[in-house]
Amino acid sequence: MAPDWLPKAVAVLVALALLAPVFGWAAGQVGYAEPLENAAEATGATDDAEPVDSAPFPDYGVPGLGSAPGTLVSALVGTGLTLLLAFGIGRVLGNDGDADTDAVR
C-alpha cells in the first residue's frame, strides 16, 4: 500500500512539471544562463570542449518539438523517472515510513 503522503507529493511534482515551460520562458526573459556554462566561458574551457550528443534531452528539450512542448515533455519524463528511481530505492531499503510514524503517535 502506498504511503498517505504519496498522492500529494505526486500532485505537487506534476504541477511543477506542468509549469516547467513557464520557468523556461521566464529564464529566457531574464537572460539566465547555466552557471557551469558561464564558468567554462570565463575560464576559456569552451575552446577545448567537445560536444556530447548522447543526452536524452539536450538543453531540457525534445528535438523536433518547440521550446515549450519540449520542456514540458522533458520535465514530465524526468520527473517520472526520478519518482520511479526514488520509489524503487525505497522498496529496496524496505521501509515505507509507517513503522516510524506509529512510534511517534
Domain of residue 80 covers 4-104
Domain count, the chain: 1
Query: How do the pLDDT tens digits run along the chain, 105 residues long?
Result: 667 888 888 889 889 888 888 888 888 888 887 888 888 888 988 788 787 767 777 777 788 888 788 888 888 888 888 889 988 898 888 865 555 555 455
> In terms of Cα–Cα distance, which of 74, 57, 61, 65 is closest to 18?
74
At 16, the amino acid letter reads: L
DSSP state letters, 61-99: S-TTS-HHHHHHHHHHHHHHHHHHHHHHHHHHHT--SHH
Three-class secondary structure of residue 103 per DSSP: helix
pTM listed for this prediction: 0.58
Q: What is the DSSP letter of 60?
A: G
> What was the pLDDT predicted at 85?
92
Specify the residue for cell string 523536433. Answer: 64
